[in-house]
Chains A and B, each alone.
Chain A
Amino acid sequence: MINYQKGSIAAVTSEEYANSSVDYKLSSAQAYARGYKVSIRNLNSWFGVKQALKNINFDVKENTITSMIGPSGCGKTTLIRCLNRMNEMTPGAAVKGSVYLDDVDIYANGIDPVTIKRRIGMVFQKPNPFPTMSIYDNVAAGLKLNGIRDKKLINEIVEESLRGAALWDEVKGELGKPGSSISGGQQQRLCIARALAMQPEVLLMDEPTSALDPIASAKIEELLNDLKKDLTIIIVTHNMQQAARVSDYTAFMYLGEMVEYGPTKQIFENPQKELTERYISGKFG
């Protein structure tokens, strides 16, 4: 009965990862003890009979940014949707395996998926603001759901979140306008602000900048760097430069499998698998 304390053991070295990305040996408790925020163990997912995730194992360190890359359809979205139990809401979807948030398996019996989602925020591939709510209410929606009634506090958090999402300056005069009345890129940033206002521990982002122009993208990337201090970020991206620029760790997926996972520098400069190398150098397909 070893009682692991969070961060009591030194972080896994890049070498450890290099050898263990597919068949990971660390127990979830050991990972937690070494300061990992999220640990994925033997995660499988199906849509009907089609298997979309095949035995995924990896750990995400607290206060880091992890990029998920891989060709379209390889399962990136499915994977991050498994991390906050969103995937199981899709009709026909099934999930097996464990995802540890700190030392708690969110798939264990008796865990309420609702509380999990309050701790793990999510930004979707397509912007989905609530069209009937104002910009302000969109951002405040999560707070109100969590029972926060203090007007002043809500005002503060709304402004802070909108600033955080680099949207404040554009909308500060018209917070009463409906959430659907702004541009697609602004809507995506609104969704980021909405997720931030929840002050989550982990933020899952599915191609958050695919709808944005380079300037707005740069703002988001900057924002991610700031946010890293307070939370753990997992981001799906098709943009290699972005992955290289913002993330500490990178995971490469292919056909539902985790091919390689390690520090970003290593994945991009010295990939261990030929498949990874071919994908990164654009020789894929």
Chain B
Amino acid sequence: MHTDKRTLAWLVAGILLVSITPLTMSAKAFAQSGITLNGAGATFPFPLIDEWRVRYQDVQPDVALNYQSIGSGGGIRQFTEKTVDFGATDAPLNANQTSSLPGQAVHIPETIGSVVAAYNVIGIPDKGLKLTGPILADIFLGKITKWDDPKIEELNPDLPLPAQDIVVVHRAEGSGTTFVWTSYLSKVSTEWEVQVGRGTSVQWPTGLGAQGNEGVATTIRDTQYAIGYVELAYALTTGMDFAFIENLAGQFIEPTLDSTRAAVAASAPTLPKGEESWSNVSLVNALGQESYPIASFSYLLLYKELSTNPQIDSVEKARALVDFVSWAITDGQEFADDLSYVPLPEQVVTLNQETLKGITFNGQPVIETTPPPPPEGEPFTVTTSLDGTSYTVTGTSTFTATEVDIIPEQYVRITFDGDGEVELTLPKAMIDGITTVKAGSETLDHEMVSSSASSTTIKFTVPEGSSVVDIQGAMIVPEFEFVALLILATAIVGVIGFTRFRGNAMGVGFGKRM
């Protein structure tokens, strides 16, 4: 009885092993040596970044994006702790945060947000209400408590303002939206600046706190005579009523993508360089006739010297990161409109491109890096075939490769007739995700020169005295897969038959004992 069970267990374990082998062999995509860029931070740009994640697959299939929208604070923390490749934040780094960074960081504004004052008052039509910054500050300070307050009436002589208490709604949790909103109130009201100030969360003198834009929106919708603030994108997509706000030029401006963009364009000339301090950058109450006054950038954070973060461990990864960011601030802006995000104005794109040019990896600028010059010598070609498929390896060196052997699932062996520097292009169907290059037991330094959808080009130096080099990778052409499938099928049939038979036998055994 005991031994029977043990046999069965071994059998099952064996079958599991056998059945996993072909899976690992065919899980090519999984094993592929693509680059993953990890980011974390603000929730506000998440829908846009997520769109980028999907779209960037068409541009660079080998680069995967992984963004965790954990909030600006968390993003800054993770960026500082070097656990992500890039951070994202709605508020620029302040002096304290900057000083606790392990290296110099750059701000790259990647999109623009604006915040609207949404309300729920019966009788006041959509977008009908006009408000000024000081009035909003007084409402949020609890000083203006009635909708028919003379100050509001003065601005809206035609509206039937009710003699009802104003219900203030704000965000419960810390958020970039709150930062923008309180920045604006601080800028336009000294009293607000002194009593409350600006931050991702503040000590609200009055009002109801709700979770997220959704929570604030729901609360406003369900509470008569309520006023609160939400992201423009959110207000537009959910069709809330919101107020026109007076800008610095004295105009009452409807919050739209265009009026927000106008505010950014008006502020662009005053923006610092990417690597300078952005802590005082603010788009609120911007100049310009058309500018909506409550707007703000959302930023990506990168280290100026990318190798500061050990996560970025190769020039390929550094390049992939910078390439992605360049794409996001240019081509990636196309997707902003559809998601109700404000695309970056040209001046800001140019500024960002300048910033990206200054980014280095191990001291070398990432963008300007030209691929290392091919080694001297002549191109050569060697071919091998396995299971009826032939694979061609090309290369350049002063000597040539004489032979290629595929040791299925282990390595690719290349025999040379000389030593020295060589550049090899290997088909991905043969080997992918190259990890190590070895000459005998010695591991050779190799450099990834380029990688396309079908092949990888690497460069290394064949040491003096050796002529055989083994290249290992995550995927090496498997042995004829049919054999593996056959083993699996036999094993499955076997185990079914075996358990059936054993099951019966055990049943009989129990019966006898009882």
A and B touch in the complex (CB under 8 A): no
